[in-house]
Structure 1
Amino acid sequence: MALEQIQRLKSYLLADDEMLALVYVCDETLLPQFCQTQVIRDFFAKFFDDTPSIQDLRAIKDSITPALTQPLYAKLIGHFSTLCEAQVITKAHFHHLLLSIHAHKVDSNAQENVQSTYRDLTHINALMAELYQSLQDACTQDSQTQALHRIWRNVKEQKFSIGVTGVLSAGKSTFLNALLGEEILGSSTIPETANLTVLQYDQKQYAKVHFWNLAEWEEILVDSQTDEGLRRFVQQTKHAFGEDLQSYITTEGESKHIELSELSTYTSANHTSKLCNLIKKVELFTPLKFLQGGVNIVDTPGLDDPITKREEITKEYIKDCDLLIHLMNASCAATQVDVDFILETLLERNISRLLVVLTRADLITSSELHQSLEYTKQSLQNAILKISQSLDSHAILSRIIFLPISSYNALLARTQPQDAPMPIEQTGILAIEEYLDTMLLGENSLKARDIAYLCLKSFATIAQDIAHDLSLESKILHASKEELEEFIALERAQEQSLREQAARISQAIMDKHTELEGTLKVLNDFITMSLQTSQDRLKERVSQNIAYAAKHKHTTTKEDLDELFSIALKDIFTDITREYKYKLNTKITHLIQEVHTELQEACVSIELAHTPPSFSFYAKDEQIAHFVHTLSSEVFALKNSSALASKLDSVFSQTFSQFSQLIFAKSQHTKEAFLEFFGGISEAIAQDFQSQITHKEQALYKALQQFEHSNNQETKDALARKLDSIAQIKARITQAYKELE
């Protein structure tokens, strides 16, 4: 291609991001398909005599990539994501595009352009600081000043949280050590880290351990009555500490600073001290560059943690994470806990950034790794279809990025390069860091731009409030007596309108509250019916198995029954609760959308900061072990009875009654949390309306005071200057918006 032709194409495509995205994704496979569409044919006809070759398109892309600005890059990512969700390109193709563009920008003579992009956001950050100072000087009320300080504090203190999850022994500690480039967290071939650990930046290295408080420990004791694994945990703890236990578990909960060299004593499940049993979480501070800029990493003890209370604390932490990295052992594929967690993350928490890392990838062949990945995807797809035929499983799966890693070899390559069995490029750690850097971290990441956007949006709201107050003052200062009375009447009418709006919207929210109560009752009925159906099916299956064995003179052992009931009860628990969660979250999403619609129709711009509470159901082996034991023991004792069928009714009814309590206890907790959630929304809206009414009253009062005491030309001129200043501030905010876009 001629240089002149490339330059013409470059200018055209840099101004048309949608077409540019299509050019970027076009490869040998897609070119014939794209050539069938009218929009592509028109584009090719405009610049080419014939259909361009792949080499021509590559030359165009190579020319354009160094010129990409960060805003355009962000738009391209959005288009790539849309094409991926529409299954035009694969997820692998999507990730390859991100890495190849980023690598080209860094490796070529694009360094100047990268620095220009860096300056773009640096300029925005500097502008936000100037706007903050200008708005402080312009504020007309204390409430505006307080809101401004709160916004700026949130910007300056903005945290970026990475949650690392996985079942026990998924290799989280080794992975994190490799990512951090230093062996800080203990790791071994058996479960090592027994506590929630939050890694944060500090110039000194130390840790802070937090013990259970008395209320939390008593909750563990209550749960241990129906949980065999938890019961053993409590017995082990009491045996290890005896009467000294009360010195560790206090009413308020003790915290202790320790050296990193002492960390394993408090966190290792394998340490003889068993202090890890008394710790609910650990804060680890270290001067690693990766944690600078407000980044923290939440290292979880494992989704299948036998300590239910610790699991709940873990979920509260990861609920607010900006990114979740879920680890799975590549050789073991996806466990049921893995599948449940991934679906919960994607369907219920609406998290779009989920990185699934397949650990210990070096221990299996490329073919086995591919099979493991496909098995995981198929398991997720089957689970999605089981929930609802209407869900687009391909679109949901497209929101996950899968990357393999050999964490141990990556750690060796970082800490002992001379002894490392493979170069760091082959371990997979660089691809993961590339993903983090490109998408989420760094000065020009999407995350950083999101923060700037929200800050500017909040600044714009405050500037508008100030402009309204100043305009009101100006109108009153220049008003005649008759005009003044009209202004006052108008303001009073607006206040009354706000009160009426508040009453209408509050009633609408309470109607949603009532509707949710009805839905929760229906869902409880669904649980009851599903449990009864499952009970009847399982009872019939057991009867048939025993009858078949007797007919063919086979012996039904207790071990056979243990296995049958263990699998069946876990499946029943999983199927019922998964459908319950999906139905409830669908309803919650619908209700929240209706709330937003109510606000929009009323022309009310209230930002609902509330997010629905997260809830989860996990059936651990230990949690249902005693139900399995009860059923198998009683059925085994009755297997030769002539009245087996009738006696099974009683056995199953009693056991399922207790088994259902596990589900209904969670259901009741969920009901209370969601009703409180909608009550909180109603209260927040009422407070926001009252705040607006109070603001208007104060603005009017101040303007009238100004009219009575300072009705002179000097005051009018000063007010005119303020109005001009706030108009300039609003214009600068608008310009900053355009730069971000």
Structure 2
Amino acid sequence: MQDRQEQWQHKVESLLDNDEILALVYACDESLLHQFSQTQVMQEFFTQFFGKIPNAQDLQALKTFITPKLTQPLYIKLIGHFSTLCEAQVITKAYFHHLLLNIHAHKVDSQARTDTQSTKDLSHTHTLIEEFYQSLQELCTQDSQIQVLQRTWHNAKEQKFSIGVTGVLSAGKSTFLNALLGKEILGSSTIPETANLTVLQYAKDQGAKVHFWNLEEWEEILADSHTDEGLMRFVQQTQSTFGDNLHSYITKEGISKHIELSELSVYTSANHASKLCNLIKKVELFTPLKFLQGGVDIVDTPGLDDPITKREEITKEYIKDCDLLIHLMNASCAATQVDIDFILETLLERNISRLLVVLTRADLITPDELQQSLQYTKQSLQNAILKISQSLDSHAILSRITFLPISSYNALLARTQGNAPIPLEQTGILAIEEYLDTMLLGENSLKARDIAYLCLKSFASIAQDIAHDLSLESKILHASKEELEEFIAGERHQSTLLREHSVRISQAIMDKNTELEGTLKILNDFILMSLQTSQDRLKERVVQNITYAKRQNRTTTKEDLQELFTIALKDIFTDITREYKYKLNTKITHLIQEVHSEVQEVCHNLEFAHTPPSFSFYAKDEQIAHFVHILSSEVFALSGSGAFASKLDSVFNQTFALFSQLIFTKSQHTREAFLEFFGKISQMITQDFQSQITHKEQALQKALQQFEKSNNQETKDLIAHKLDSITQLTERIVQTYKELE
């Protein structure tokens, strides 16, 4: 087999340049081999490559050899050729989907094998980690070291995996999750069903816990409703339904309630008559499903275009800490602007390295339509990336996305009832599970490696602290009285320097916030200029349209104006805020990197767990509609007036001033959130420095006590032995984590 693969090496390179032949090779299974062998083009290929007509095993070996070499662009080309074969009825629609899933599965499997071969198996690493933990426990010199060691060990063993599931309303999230979980837990219908953020967690006894809005959150919703007609209707419906009882649900602290799983729809369904879902902020759902074992959480979002802005903000706070994001899009619909914005925000602004885009309801469209949907999404993303910056590599960004089709409903039927129009292996659910297992959940997953690496890094830091303490004891035990006094003075001087360094670092961190405030001011000026330019262009366009209509003896209707303003305001908001977000996040990322480098040089045991706050600038359709209504009504009223042109400035100025508040209000929230964020970092650094100073003093006191208590050779030999042991252990720990880098 090895000899044959070596012979194939050069031939495969030329095959990869011929995507049409490559597609036929992949499409050719045992049932089609005879048919394909009758064609001249395949006869020539088989003779040139194999020297004969191959058998099914030869073809499978070739596919296995080629699959790891497939690039994303080549994979997309293959999909196009498979689609053509399907349209020509050479292969069936079901086999088309089977091909896509098989190639992806082989790519995933090949990558897993490559990862396993490139480093030691993680099971061996886990064995070493446990050995290091036991050894460090025996060598720890202070209680504080034992506490850090045990916390690190616990976090590594109990590390949670968080999967965020996103998409616009009615993207099919609930059906997809039910299929993934193998049980119909979440309600689903053609009308948006799950109206709340839901966090699924493992528990032996199933149940749920609902969390209601608190008073402050509800007041924010009321404030947002003044410029959002959809939100205004939501508030009016809620107040009408609950009346005076509303404040028994919405309290200052916020209440939570445990419920049975059978009651879930009463609290979460947007279609339930109780309308309790209007009062719910989030739901925790507990179920004994195996997929959730091992600390796996699934965050099911109510929809990125959720009309409740506050709930969308909470959703974004949850998903920013997810280890993997799954974004769902209806395969039969083109990617929406919200889809495009979210994907870009995820890849560019949140530094998410892995994104799985699932095309739902793939069984309802033809392979050609699926291919068109994929191409449209990719092209839209490329165009949006170019709008942000010409310097960004769109191909590199798109390569971080994996696209997989699924028929969630058929997968759910196959798993819950055992019968479905499409076999389970052709629904797409198995390919998605393989992806999750390799990227996140498997023993050799990237996530598992990350956890092992961070644990070992922390162990190395603890080992260095222990070595420092033992070295301190050894120096004191071997010192003369004069040397001892000099040594103590030196150690305490080091503590003084640490305090001074703490103040300097904290001030430097706060300076980052001042720098960010300057950036926000510049970006706000950019918004003002951009809005003014857009306002002038739109006003000029309106005047031209109305003037042209009059010349044609045609009346400009209110509906004409509504259509014009809807498209224009959406484009203006999208273009301005996208550039704003990109520039702001670029600055924030740069500042955070500077903070990391400054902190990690001096703060050895600092758990840099705080993630920067997220922010969004999505304009809801209802918010846009609010401004469209104002502009179209007032411009239409003026269109027959003699003072039309002179009064138009006032109408546009007033409306755009309100329009800009959508952005400026969010900008202010961003400023406040980052002020708090950098403040927390500064506080953590101060605490870490103080911890180092306290540790030094305790180690010094312990060494002095040891000196006074027992200054014999046996004690010196024992410390020397421990110091030698911790030195060797540190070297082994460092070597192990470097192998994982």
Paired residue secondary structure (2:15): coil
2:476 equivalent to 1:512? no
Task: Answer whether contact 2:119 2:739 (CA < 8 A) is retained.
Answer: no
Structure 1 residues 257-336: aligned runs within 5 Å = 257-336=258-337
- How many residue pairs match? The answer is 687
Q: In the alignment, which residue of structure 2 is the partner of 1:50? A: none
- Aligned partner letter, 2:105: L
Residues 322-381 of structure 1, C-alpha deviations (whole Å, 9 max, x = no match): 010000011112001101111111111010110000111111110011001100111111
Paired residue secondary structure (2:461): helix
Structure 1 residues 70-219: aligned runs within 5 Å = 99-100=105-106, 120-219=121-220
Q: How far did 1:604 drift?
A: 7.9
2:697 equivalent to 1:669? no
Q: In the alignment, which residue of structure 1 is the partner of 2:551? A: 551
Q: In the alignment, which residue of structure 2 is the partner of 1:466? A: 466
Task: Compute the TM-score of the two structures, normalised by the length of structure 1.
Answer: 0.85
Q: Percent identity?
A: 77
Consecutive unaligned residues of structure 1, counting only runs of 5 or more, are 11-19, 33-52, 67-75
- Structure 1 residues 569 and 486 mapped into 2: Cα distance closer, same or farther (>3 Å)? same
Task: Answer whether contact 2:603 2:685 (CA < 8 A) is retained.
Answer: no
- Aligned partner letter, 2:464: Q
- Aligned partner letter, 1:270: N
- Aligned partner letter, 1:571: D
- Find the aligned partners of 1:343 and 1:381 in 2 and give their Cα distance: 10
- Structure 1 residues 27 and 678 mapped into 2: Cα distance closer, same or farther (>3 Å)? farther
2:420 equivalent to 1:416? no
Task: Answer whether contact 2:458 2:605 (CA < 8 A) is retained.
Answer: no
Structure 1 residues 11-50: aligned runs within 5 Å = 28-29=15-16
- Structure 1 residues 258 and 24 mapped into 2: Cα distance closer, same or farther (>3 Å)? farther
Q: How far did 1:448 drift?
A: 1.2
Q: How far did 1:166 drift?
A: 0.4
Q: In the alignment, which residue of structure 1 is the partner of 2:251? A: 250
- Structure 1 residues 547 and 105 mapped into 2: Cα distance closer, same or farther (>3 Å)? closer
Task: Answer whether contact 1:165 1:303 (CA < 8 A) is retained.
Answer: yes
Q: In the alignment, which residue of structure 1 is the partner of 2:356? A: 355
Residues 213-263 of structure 1, C-alpha deviations (whole Å, 9 max, x = no match): 222222212221221111111111122222222222222222222222221
- Aligned partner letter, 1:422: I
Task: Answer whether contact 1:28 1:54 (CA < 8 A) is retained.
Answer: no
- Find the aligned partners of 1:215 and 1:115 in 2 and give their Cα distance: 51
- Aligned partner letter, 2:440: L
Q: How far did 1:96 drift?
A: 7.2
- Find the aligned partners of 1:656 and 1:187 in 2 and give their Cα distance: 39
Structure 1 residues 393-404: aligned runs within 5 Å = 393-404=394-405
- Structure 1 residues 23 and 728 mapped into 2: Cα distance closer, same or farther (>3 Å)? farther
- Aligned partner letter, 1:532: Q
Q: In the alignment, which residue of structure 2 is the partner of 1:475? A: 475
Q: How far did 1:677 drift?
A: 2.4
- Find the aligned partners of 1:364 and 1:62 in 2 and give their Cα distance: 32
Task: Compute the TM-score of the two structures, normalised by the length of structure 2.
Answer: 0.85
Structure 1 residues 657-736: aligned runs within 5 Å = 657-734=657-734, 736=736
Task: Answer whether contact 2:165 2:298 (CA < 8 A) is retained.
Answer: yes
- Aligned partner letter, 2:541: R
- Structure 1 residues 665 and 103 mapped into 2: Cα distance closer, same or farther (>3 Å)? closer
Paired residue secondary structure (1:28): helix
- Aligned partner letter, 1:346: L
- Aligned partner letter, 1:468: H
Task: Answer whether contact 1:84 1:91 (CA < 8 A) is retained.
Answer: no
Residues 420-470 of structure 1, C-alpha deviations (whole Å, 9 max, x = no match): 111112211111111111221122212112111110110110011001100
Paired residue secondary structure (2:508): helix
Task: Answer whether contact 1:24 1:61 (CA < 8 A) is retained.
Answer: no
Task: Answer whether contact 1:182 1:411 (CA < 8 A) is retained.
Answer: yes
Superposition RMSD on alpha carbons, in Å?
Answer: 3.4
- Aligned partner letter, 2:626: H
The answer to which of 249-258 and 634-643 deviates more is 249-258
- Structure 1 residues 578 and 410 mapped into 2: Cα distance closer, same or farther (>3 Å)? same
- Structure 1 residues 315 and 738 mapped into 2: Cα distance closer, same or farther (>3 Å)? closer
Task: Answer whether contact 1:91 1:401 (CA < 8 A) is retained.
Answer: no
- Find the aligned partners of 1:583 and 1:661 in 2 and give their Cα distance: 19
- Find the aligned partners of 1:664 and 1:303 in 2 and give their Cα distance: 21
Task: Answer whether contact 2:457 2:734 (CA < 8 A) is retained.
Answer: no
Q: In the alignment, which residue of structure 1 is the partner of 2:528? A: 528
Task: Answer whether contact 1:25 1:89 (CA < 8 A) is retained.
Answer: no
Q: In the alignment, which residue of structure 1 is the partner of 2:83? A: none
Q: In the alignment, which residue of structure 2 is the partner of 1:588? A: 588
The answer to which of 618-627 and 128-137 deviates more is 128-137
Paired residue secondary structure (1:207): strand
- Aligned partner letter, 1:665: T
Paired residue secondary structure (2:281): strand
- Structure 1 residues 690 and 55 mapped into 2: Cα distance closer, same or farther (>3 Å)? farther
Q: How far did 1:116 drift?
A: 11
- Find the aligned partners of 1:324 and 1:648 in 2 and give their Cα distance: 46
- Aligned partner letter, 1:668: Q
Q: In the alignment, which residue of structure 2 is the partner of 1:446? A: 446
- Find the aligned partners of 2:682 and 2:157 in 1 and give their Cα distance: 30
Q: How far did 1:309 drift?
A: 1.0
- Aligned partner letter, 1:592: I
Task: Answer whether contact 1:599 1:605 (CA < 8 A) is retained.
Answer: no
Residues 668-691 of structure 1, C-alpha deviations (whole Å, 9 max, x = no match): 111122233233333333333332
Q: In the alignment, which residue of structure 1 is the partner of 2:45? A: none
Q: How far did 1:123 drift?
A: 3.5
- Aligned partner letter, 2:409: Y
- Find the aligned partners of 1:601 and 1:288 in 2 and give their Cα distance: 43
Residues 685-730 of structure 1, C-alpha deviations (whole Å, 9 max, x = no match): 3333332233222222221222122212232233223223323432
Task: Answer whether contact 2:158 2:294 (CA < 8 A) is retained.
Answer: no
- Structure 1 residues 380 and 646 mapped into 2: Cα distance closer, same or farther (>3 Å)? same
Task: Answer whether contact 2:463 2:730 (CA < 8 A) is retained.
Answer: yes
Q: How far did 1:656 drift?
A: 1.1
- Structure 1 residues 476 and 726 mapped into 2: Cα distance closer, same or farther (>3 Å)? same
- Structure 1 residues 336 and 500 mapped into 2: Cα distance closer, same or farther (>3 Å)? same
Task: Answer whether contact 1:118 1:444 (CA < 8 A) is retained.
Answer: no
The answer to which of 627-636 and 716-725 deviates more is 716-725
Task: Answer whether contact 2:197 2:315 (CA < 8 A) is retained.
Answer: yes
- Find the aligned partners of 1:491 and 1:242 in 2 and give their Cα distance: 68
Q: In the alignment, which residue of structure 2 is the partner of 1:44? A: none
- Aligned partner letter, 2:403: F
Paired residue secondary structure (1:183): coil
- Structure 1 residues 731 and 188 mapped into 2: Cα distance closer, same or farther (>3 Å)? same
- Aligned partner letter, 2:406: I
Q: In the alignment, which residue of structure 1 is the partner of 2:631? A: 631
- Structure 1 residues 737 and 594 mapped into 2: Cα distance closer, same or farther (>3 Å)? closer
- Structure 1 residues 116 and 375 mapped into 2: Cα distance closer, same or farther (>3 Å)? closer
Task: Answer whether contact 1:473 1:703 (CA < 8 A) is retained.
Answer: yes
- Find the aligned partners of 2:11 and 2:654 in 1 and give their Cα distance: 63
- Aligned partner letter, 1:387: I
- Structure 1 residues 89 and 104 mapped into 2: Cα distance closer, same or farther (>3 Å)? closer
- Structure 1 residues 115 and 350 mapped into 2: Cα distance closer, same or farther (>3 Å)? closer
Paired residue secondary structure (2:208): strand
The answer to which of 117-126 and 333-342 deviates more is 117-126
- Find the aligned partners of 1:604 and 1:260 in 2 and give their Cα distance: 46
- Find the aligned partners of 2:510 and 2:363 in 1 and give their Cα distance: 56
